Structures are given as C-alpha cells and as structure tokens.
Structure 1
C-alpha cells in the first residue's frame, strides 16, 4: 500500500494567521495571590471577611501567642480603602504574631533576598519589633532582626532578609515587646527577585513558563471574575473595576473573588500590561459592561456613562500621551511610553438582553473616540443555541471586530466538530475563541486539542484569536480543571497540554499555504448511531414532580407512564426506545430543594457513561441545555436561557429523529441541534509560512493508535527539522514529576515523515528568504 502524499503549492499563500494563539489569565485556582503575584503573606492587610468566604475572618491565616493582646481595629486606619488593621496591646508579657502564607508554608531559598515590610503606628512610646522566619521544627532560618517603631504617624518600615537555609514550610514570626501599644497593617514578605526585577512584579518561574510559550496576546483579568458582583465600585463585593487595581498596593481595596476567596488586587492592570510587554504578548483586557449575569444586576441605561467612561479611560491609560489625564497616571507609575493596546473585550461570556442592550453604548462611544481599537463582543459560555445566536446577531448588527466564543467539551465533541468553522462566513466579525479545553489533562486530550487547533489555523480568515483556559492552578486551591500549568509555592509543572500550545505558538507561521493531501486512509466512523435507548428522569438537588408522561416509539401507539416524584439526586429509568425516531412529553413541577437547580431527562442511554440529557434549569437554574455524555465525559451541544420557577408546572416535549433533537417548553420551541457523528481522520494537517524566518511549517497530528508514513516534498523540506511530541494517551503531568511526554527535535532526512500514534508533529523547512 502506498503512503499518503502531501504536495504544497508554495505559489499560493492564503489567509494570514495574525495574532491567532495567545493565553488567558484569570485569578481562579489562586492564580494571582499565592501564585503569579508572589506576595508570601496571606491576608497581609487583615481584610479577609465572610463576604469572600464563609470560613474567613479578619485574622484568617494568622496565628498568635498571647492572643488576648491582638484585636482588629478600624477607627484609625492606614487609609480609607482598607480600613482594618491589627491593634496590638501587650501587658507584662510579650506577644507573637505568625503567618505561614499559602500552601504548606513559606518557601524561601538560601542565598536569595526577600523584602519584609509593614506599616505601623505606635500609640504610646516607641518600641522595637523582632522579625524572624522559622521552619516547622521551630528552627530559625532567618536570624531575628529588629525594627524601631517611633513615628507617631502611620509609617512603612522595610528591610531585606536572606535565609541561611532553604525551607518550604516556613513561618514568619513578629514579636511585640511587653508594655507596648501599636497598630499594624500591610505585613508583607516579597521576593526581591521577580520576573524582569519589577518591584511589585510577578513570580519569576511562572512568568518564565508564560514567556516560553511565545504567546501573541494575553487576555485578562477574566473570565467570570470580571462580571460577578455588585455595581457599586466601593462595595466589598463589587464587579471588577480596573481603577481599583492601580497605584500603591496598600491603597488598592481588597475585594471578594467570585471563585470563593479574597483578592488583594496587588496584581492589577498596570502589572498586567507590564507583564504582557515583558513576555512579548499584546494586552487584551476584558471590561465589565455594567451587568452581572450571575445575579441579574443591571446598571440603569441612563447611568451607564460611568461604565463606558471606564472603558474609554482604560484605552487612554494604555495608549494616551503623558499629557492626557490617564496617560499621565501611567507615566507617573513609571511607564511614559504607551502599552499599544489593540484589543478590548466588552463583557465575558455574557448572555441575556441585559448585556445586549448595554453593549451598543460601549461600542458606539469607543468607535467614535478610538476607531482603531478592535472590539470583542460575547456569544456566551456555550458552543451553540439561542443565546449564542443572539450574541452573533448583536456582533453583526453593530460591527464588532470579534465575537468571544467559550466552550469546555469532551474529546469526542472536538473530534466531531473538526469542521465547525469551515461554514462560518468570511465577512463580518471574526471568532475569538477566548476559552476552550477538552475535559482532562491527559495526553489524548492534548492530541485532540492539537487536531482541533489545525481547524482554527485553516480558518484563520474566520478565527482571529484563540487561547486555552484556564492558565494556572495552585494545586492546593483548585477551583477548576483542566488547567494549563500546575504549581505550588516552590515548583512549576506544565501540563501535557501546555507542550502542544507551546509547539503551535512557536511554529504558528504568518499565513496559510495551499496544499493537497492524497492517498490517506478513509476516515473511521466511530459513532453515527441513532440516539435511542433507555430514558428516564433524575433530580438535580431539587425536588421535582414529573407527571403526564407520554412517549411514542416510532410509529407505535403513544404510551402513558406513572407519575414520578424525585428528590436529591434520585434517578429512575422508565423505558427503552428502539426506533430511531421518537417523542417524549411530560409535565415538570419543581416542588422544593435548591433554588438554583432543576431536573433532567436522560434519553438515548446505551450504557453507563453514554447517554443524552435534557437539562431543565441548568447552571444556576438559568438554562435549558442539550448535553451528551460520551465515555463518562460530558459536552454541552446547545443552550437556551430558561428558568424553572417553584410550584409552576411546565409542559415539556422532546422529539428525536436519528441524531436530530428538538425540544419545546409550553409549546414554545427551545433547543434544536444535530449531534454530529463522531468520525476520526487518519491524520490532521495544515501548512503555514512564516515571513520573518522564511520557513514553511507542516503540522501533522495523529489521534489514532497506529503509526502512519507521509510522503512530503523532498526539495522543500530537505535540510529542515522535525519537532515532535508523543506519548501514551493516558499520560499526564503531575506536580513535581518530569514531563511524561517524549519531545523529539532533530534534523529531517529524506522525503518520508513517520507520524507515530498519538503524536503532534511540526516539520520545518530551511529558510527560503
């Protein structure tokens, strides 16, 4: 049997790839505090509270000896932004304050410098504080140093420490002498060695992992972090407001993080812009639109100027001359040159009319003042459905440059949707795939993602930007999986998915090149069966009554089933559909349980971990969703906004025809979707050219379990090189372990490229400049 052949037409260069591959930072999984932002003291300003997390209080993270000497005060604050401080009043005994930071303790390395600081105000005589660092065995690794506190006003005291040995379970110890009364705030321990040696910079090893990717852009600061909160900029749980995040760190107000913890905002917009510049990525900030879709909070349209001005002021802060108001703020912070902002996203995966009626105000104002800024609209957090379509309609109506699409799906969804963007129009807004990942960190997931990324490349005239998400995970504080980079207080381990992203970013190219691939084995059909099988109902932590259940299997007579009452997570199977076409109707009433939950109809159940579901009242009781579960991994194929009220009865109907699904609620059409058959190609390919280096890049991905040989143009690739990633499909990287994926980089000989099973390959030509 002859090998497949690939012939490249070097005379036909096609769509430009632009800034296609980038990264996305959001402060979840403790990615900022305790992570990229290397402040080592947890709760440094005594501002933790129950608004952040039900387990928090103002002394969370701290421990005491002679605890009666310590109280939280707020009548004489360091500033009005962070009103709490520690009021220390000792009697004849000394008192001790200790903090072990994040994870398992402070990680300090022998011979490195760490900057300790605190603000203090004595209320009687001057005093001396003793500062030391101990390990878990109470052995001192930094000899005690003294600070003389004598100013009658709040004053910052600082000095550098150098450990005499390395520890990963350290604790800072502050000793207060007898008979003193002093106020203390903003206790900090910060590494002197940061990325690019920035004074309030980012953690060096984490930033180096980002720079090594060579991303074209960085999206920040979220994510749901952006749009979940109250509308008052001064509220403890406000929406993310960028103006709160610049200036002296002690004046940045602590805020609730919507992922269930505190954010100091020490890592703010100035630091984000600076990091983008330092790693060579274009900044792509995301702005709240005066709308919280999580709680349906809406800034009145006649008071939207505050929010629009925030966006306009941010552009001026990034790009304005030092003579402008916000350009001067940037210059005064130490960066007189502009940050060259090109992209701005309004909203994050917003759904609902509340966002769509506010977006035009931002769009029109920004277009009028800054016409060159590329504006990004939102299509919501799902890959298809009613809200997704309305988001795209809005973008087309107002002329948005890009539309932010988000989806996290099972590997089979990515394989079934390889040609998703082939049918997208070439004119109008481009896609910004702002968040995506297959649902695991195994090598098979990474290979499937690589195959899908080739579809993004081939459609670069339709897909402008794409970034895997989330970026970081502190393994002690995981909110979300999968993730690209794992870390704790002392080490960093990229996931196997990271290496795919890195390979594609290094060899992105600047434009597609025409080519022909012939002689490949036929694609393998994995699943094109009708969606029949068992059906039934389950509660989703809500109490539901399912009544008037009627089903019709093919042309048989309709059958009625007994009413069902389900609570908790109870699940009941009712019958089996054997025809490829069938209908099910029922009345659903939610009678109790969690207000943010509803119930499910499962259908097409073939075996455990393989079925379809109709979610009624999904994700915070806000959706009607058609979901597929395949080999235990779920994918949301279609979503529509819908809410189930308690004690209200809804008439629901589903019609399944082979792999086509259509549903109605109270006779109103809702979701409609075709579940694309799962077909796997023998190999996935694309060819790009890089103008800067003059090289051609052939990317080849094999998601199958058999090696394959590919004949390529010897004249083009002679003297080139091959870079390859391959491994066991179940392999994954765990923190502290070596990379489980084999990396090959070597000269390419001959005209036959071997493409191993489960591999990602880039064949590079010599330079033709």
Structure 2
C-alpha cells in the first residue's frame, strides 16, 4: 500500500493563490452579471458593435387594434452628449394599444412572483403627456403597471417600483399611451430591487452568489483581448478599454463596441468592479492596455505615452487615494470614502511583439517610482511557450516584474503531460500568474484532468503566485467562447463540472503549502506512442498558393520520396503521403499568389481530430505555430512571430525525431517543440494549511480505485470533512435540466490516531479538511 505523509513543514505562501477572471465575453456583463434587465436601454446600439445592430435593436412598436405609432432615434437634443441617441415616440392613433416595448435578453425579461423592480427613465415632451409603463407577458397581457405624467419639455428623470404578482420569464417592458402624443425617452432602465448586497446599479443576485461561493482571493478585470483590441483614441466607439470612461454617472459612460461583436454599456464599470470585489472578499486585479494593439498592429509613439502611464497612476489613486487627491475624491463622491486597497496591477494581455515590451518598461518604471508597493504583472503572450513567451519572461526579469501573466487553453492530454511544468522553476524572480487556462470542454473528464493539473500548480506555489480559470461566465444564447465555468440565461444559472472542481479547490486552500512525503507509489503510466506517425497533408490557408520541390525523407532508412507540384486557388488541401517512422523530414517550397494568410502542414494525422499542424502565417498572418490536436482539442506546442508575403518563395522544412519537432523557414529554425505523451500517475496530491485546518487534495484519474495510508503530522486524531467528486461518466455535463449532475458530496471522517486509510474511487477528486 502506498503512503502519503503530510508534514508540518511550510514550503511556500499561498495567501492569494486562487481567484476569478471576469471578461465581458459571452454577454458576461450586459445580459449577465450586471443587473440591468433592459437591452439597449439608451438606444445606442450600432452596426459598429455588430452588423445586425441598429439604434432600435431589442425595441418593437406596439400597434394593436388599429393603432399607429412612429418611432425613430435622434441625437439633436440629447440628455447625454456622450450617449447622444434618444427615442422619439409619436402616437398617431391610439387604437386598442399603442407604444413600444423592450424584448430584454434571451426569452425576454424575467420577473418573479412578489419581487419588485426599479424602473427609471429620462423623458420630455413639448405638451403634457400621460404614459403607462408596464411589464407584459408574451401575449401582451399586463402583469403589473404604473402611469406617469411627462410635464416638461426638458429632460426629467422619472422612477418608481413595479412588483410582479407572478413568475414570468418571457415578459417585456412596455411604454404605452392612451392619447395621441409625442414624447422622447432615454436611458430606460429596469433593475431588480434585490441586487447582490442591494447595491444600486448592482449585480444580478444569483450569478453574483455563484461567484461569491467560490471564495476567490482576487478578481481579474476587465479582460482579456477587449482591453487592447481597439483604437488609440479614448473617444472612439471602438477604442481600447479606457477605465476613465467607465466611472461617474452611467448616463455619461460612452457606449462602446465590445470586441466580441456586441455592445458594451459600461454600466458595470470600474467603480462597480471595485465594489463587487469588496462585497465578495476578493482583491481587485485590474488589467490596463499599454497603448499597443497586436490585433491591429497599432501603437502609441513612445514619446506620447504619458497619457497612458497617467491612466495607470490615476487608477491607483482612484482605488487607494485619500479624499484630498483628484481621483480619490472622485471615488469618495461616488459613495466610497474608504480606499479599495488595490495591491495588483497588470499591464497588457496576451501581448506579442517588441512594441509592447518597449512600452511596458515605461509603465513599470513610473508605477514603481510612485507606488513601490503595487505588484506589477507583465505578459507572456497567449501561448505556453515560444519566442514571445520567452520575450515576456526575459522582459519581466529585466524589469523585476512581480508576476508574469501566462495563458493557455489546451487538451486534457496536454495537462496530463505537463503536470510538472513548473517543478524546476526557481523561487526567486517573478512569479507565475496563470491568468487564463482551461482544457477544451465542460465534461467531467475535463474537470477531472484539470483537478490533477491543479495539484501540480499548488505543489509549485514557490514559483506560482496567482491562478484563475477562464472564461468565467456565458449566457447560453450569446456564446462567443466555450468552455466556460458558469452558464446562465435570463433567470437560471448553473455551474459546470469545472466550476465544482474550482470551488472545491478554492474553498479548501490554505495560506501555506505543506511538504508531503510519499512512499510505495507505482510508476506513472505513459500513454500513446513514442513516435509521431500518420498522414502528411499540405494546405493553402485562406489564400491561393503553389507548392513544389516536395519530398519526404525517412532518416531512419535513408529513403527519399518526391511528389508532384500542387497549386490551389482560394484555399485547398491535399494528402501527400503517410509515414510510420521515428525520424523523418518533410521539405517543400511554398509561394502565396493571393490571399491574406499562409500555409499549413499536417503531420502525424490519424483522422481529422487527431493530428499535429504547423501554421505558417497563421492567426492574422502573424504566426508560425506548432499545434497538436487530440480528439479535436488543440494545444499550442510552440509559437513565434512570422508573416507570409505574397509572391515570395519560402523553403519550408519539418523534422520529426521521436516526439521532438523542429521547423525551419528558409534554413532558419522557426519552432522547436516536444509533443509530450500524457502520463497517468497513480495519485495526484497536494496539501496546505491555515490557522484552523489542514487541507489534503487527491485526484485519481485511473479506472481503478486506489487505497492509501495517510499520515498527518501535528494532529492528535482525525476530525475531518471529506468533499468528493466521483461516480460520473467521463462525458457527463451539467445543464439546466441537471444543474448538479456533476457536483461533490460531503461526509465526515474521524480517526483516533493521526493516520488513516482511504480508498479513492476511480476517476475521483477528494479533499480532506482536517481540523488542527
């Protein structure tokens, strides 16, 4: 029998180890965490946000029983100059019912029996006008209503509370009048009275509670690619995410294009973010753009960077400054006299290109000079290794960055192969901030393998400072990206299998990593082949291209085969051959004749879901990348910057030796990668402690149960709670019909001595919370 001994030796601090990452993707803010129930409340939707949008998106005229209504959007006499659009509604003929209604998100506006909702709007009319505001069901029947009189030709705010006598999840908000009249509306709003912590302009309670239940130590915000994927002018609708646009009155926050192709009201801005962090006990971790956009390849000149550096310094002052400072006073005037105690600040997100790090240097110097206590986070790009990854780490070491933000989305098999990724990383120098990671999927299998990988993260707390899964939230009817931790619609929310693993780990992590000794474990099982064999294919990727001088050399046998030239118009792919060898080369010359991307070479291909591919001019024609797919789930093995030029010849070479991969472009090394084989250890485990408890985590990814003897030093007997996730099929998922199909169960465990035996079920995640 194997034995695990948890010692009292503290190895590393874990005080802020696990947190959450909020990005406004998948309608995570508007139509999600942000409590506003009206979609397009200020009539500011635009085709720039999404080609299908226009200023009256989500609004529909009510013309019943012969009624006639005119509705159009104007900006001639706005309430807010920063959101100039407003609705002009004219009731030409009243008929049975005349007006306009808002359709809300998903199936409509969701109201609950005996719950109340705060309505507000700004309105004006040249002549007195009585209107009725109601919540209607899908058939146009009134659920609840109140009337108001518009008596001024100046913009005036009106507000009251509506209470619903029934549950209805497909309702609309209607504004009608029984008289022929003409009036203007803007900022039409409906909020639940019961927002999280009853905050004004607050968060949707059920989603917020799901986040609070995780007990995160920090919250990263607001992105993600949306922070830097925009123009350099803060007044542009499609600008980078500029925090100063997100504070103050919500009516003065300029509606903007979200880079995930929808509208962003900024109602959930930096003040609400800081307030929410305080409400859930998480430290804020904001991310700011560096005046550099790798998506559009735009950059602020280095001698014009002061505005952007001031943004960073002013944000710190807004969060932490006293009332006698400019930005501290603004925070106080917004209703929060005490500081938000900001400790962390990240510059950039998934950055590639020297232009970013030239600008990061300026931020780092200025912030450390004025606020030396702030922990600054650098960027290591969007992939787990490669040239830009190394450049980010080298820059962090040069500047003395406190942490470096790593991101990767991978197959579960990559995680099994890389559980010891950080074992040999030094404890001095910048620490890892794993700011975005996940395996591709929301199944029990994904969650199980992520749990195994997380034990490796915890065991390397000497080198890793902060960790958060991504993305966090997804509205089921507005999906930009998946997998996601939490799924919701307009009235329901559930946690994925991954959510419950994250919750288990986050709720049961101490302040210090403990040393764990082990004895008697079986050798790990290595899965798969020690060579990369299969089909070889060439593709013209979103371009027209010619391929010639194609040959494959089996270096093991010295066999050389040549192949006919290939030519493709507007894309195309061809199988070249298949090879079963431990060591081989694929060589060819490629030339793009038209198009905007480059080439792909597939190798080790057994089917369309299991292969390795080399992108030459990938993504936005900016990459040379080696990517391995297992069951359709990709993992980047190596990445560097490279662009293909039309009309230029490229001599391309791939060499595979065992599972080592090297690519060459015009004789120069482009990528160096190892496609590691997945490894299944007998048991994955880690331990930590705080003042009250010792936490032991164990993950069994094998098909058989494993019995272990567990010894906990420093305690007299065992009094513990056991939280366990087990008994599910690997492809099980949670959904609205079965929201807790994959979720843990808790039981008690006691023992007279400090040693006990435990049998870990097959495919299980187990956490012991042992009282000291």
Instruction: Place the TM-score, normalised by the shorter chain, in its bin.
Output: over 0.9
1:167-316 matches, within 5 Å, as 167-316=168-317
Partner Cα distance (2:182, 2:25) in 1: 38
Partner Cα distance (1:567, 1:503) in 2: 52
2:131 is matched with which residue: 129, 132, 135?
Answer: 129
Map Cα deviations across residues 463-504 of structure 1 (whole Å, 9 max, x no partner): 000000000000000100000000000011000111111111
Partner Cα distance (2:712, 2:345) in 1: 44
Aligned residue number for residue 452 of structure 1 = 453
2:759 is matched with which residue: 749, 754, 762?
Answer: 754
- Assess, with a 3 A threshold, how the Cα gap between structure 1 residues 298 and 534 changes in structure 2: closer, same or farther: same
**Residue pair 1:493, 1:736 contacting (<8 A) in 2 also:** no
SS of residue matched to 1:589: strand
SS of residue matched to 1:422: coil
Map Cα deviations across residues 124-178 of structure 1 (whole Å, 9 max, x no partner): 2111111111111222111x32111112211111111001211000011111454
**Residue pair 1:528, 1:678 contacting (<8 A) in 2 also:** no
Please say which of residues 660-669 and 178-187 is displaced more in the overlay. Answer: 178-187
Map Cα deviations across residues 354-391 of structure 1 (whole Å, 9 max, x no partner): 21111011000000000000000000000100110001
Aligned residue number for residue 707 of structure 2 = 709
Map Cα deviations across residues 590-628 of structure 1 (whole Å, 9 max, x no partner): 2334x2x33210112234422211012222222111011
**Residue pair 2:94, 2:177 contacting (<8 A) in 1 also:** no
Partner Cα distance (1:493, 1:635) in 2: 27
**Residue pair 2:38, 2:104 contacting (<8 A) in 1 also:** yes
**Residue pair 2:89, 2:99 contacting (<8 A) in 1 also:** no
Aligned residue number for residue 562 of structure 1 = 564
**Residue pair 2:495, 2:739 contacting (<8 A) in 1 also:** no
The yes-or-no answer on 1:616 pairing with 2:616 is yes
Aligned residue number for residue 513 of structure 1 = 514
Partner Cα distance (1:567, 1:39) in 2: 49
1:35: Cα distance to partner?
0.5
SS of residue matched to 2:52: coil
Partner Cα distance (1:177, 1:301) in 2: 61
Aligned residue number for residue 523 of structure 1 = 524
**Residue pair 2:69, 2:93 contacting (<8 A) in 1 also:** no
Map Cα deviations across residues 212-240 of structure 1 (whole Å, 9 max, x no partner): 00110000001011111011111111110
Partner Cα distance (1:53, 1:659) in 2: 44
- Assess, with a 3 A threshold, how the Cα gap between structure 1 residues 458 and 567 changes in structure 2: closer, same or farther: farther
Aligned residue number for residue 97 of structure 1 = 100
Aligned residue number for residue 59 of structure 2 = 62
**Residue pair 1:625, 1:640 contacting (<8 A) in 2 also:** yes
**Residue pair 2:544, 2:571 contacting (<8 A) in 1 also:** no
1:645-724 matches, within 5 Å, as 645-690=645-690, 692-693=691-692, 695-713=693-711, 716=715, 718-724=718-724
Partner Cα distance (1:742, 1:38) in 2: 27
1:29 is matched with which residue: 4, 19, 26?
Answer: 26
Aligned residue number for residue 153 of structure 2 = 152
1:567: Cα distance to partner?
4.9
**Residue pair 2:404, 2:430 contacting (<8 A) in 1 also:** yes
Please say which of residues 431-440 and 61-70 is displaced more in the overlay. Answer: 61-70
1:588 is matched with which residue: 572, 587, 590?
Answer: 590
Unaligned runs of 5+ in 1: none
SS of residue matched to 1:500: helix
Partner Cα distance (2:160, 2:586) in 1: 72
Partner Cα distance (2:62, 2:746) in 1: 57
**Residue pair 1:491, 1:736 contacting (<8 A) in 2 also:** no
1:583: Cα distance to partner?
1.1
**Residue pair 2:536, 2:578 contacting (<8 A) in 1 also:** yes
Aligned residue number for residue 768 of structure 2 = 763
1:88: Cα distance to partner?
2.3
Partner Cα distance (2:341, 2:42) in 1: 34
**Residue pair 1:342, 1:374 contacting (<8 A) in 2 also:** yes
Partner Cα distance (2:631, 2:25) in 1: 28
Aligned residue number for residue 109 of structure 1 = 112
Aligned residue number for residue 13 of structure 1 = 10
Map Cα deviations across residues 246-274 of structure 1 (whole Å, 9 max, x no partner): 11111111000000000000000000000
Map Cα deviations across residues 421-478 of structure 1 (whole Å, 9 max, x no partner): 0122221100000000000000111111111111111110100000000000000001
- TM-score between both structures, scaled by the size of structure 1: 0.96
**Residue pair 1:474, 1:487 contacting (<8 A) in 2 also:** yes
Partner Cα distance (2:166, 2:212) in 1: 30
**Residue pair 2:223, 2:349 contacting (<8 A) in 1 also:** yes
The yes-or-no answer on 1:579 pairing with 2:584 is no
**Residue pair 1:45, 1:186 contacting (<8 A) in 2 also:** yes
Map Cα deviations across residues 14-33 of structure 1 (whole Å, 9 max, x no partner): 11112110000000000000
**Residue pair 1:289, 1:358 contacting (<8 A) in 2 also:** yes
1:736-751 matches, within 5 Å, as 736-750=737-751, 751=756
Unaligned runs of 5+ in 2: none
SS of residue matched to 2:744: strand
1:192: Cα distance to partner?
1.0
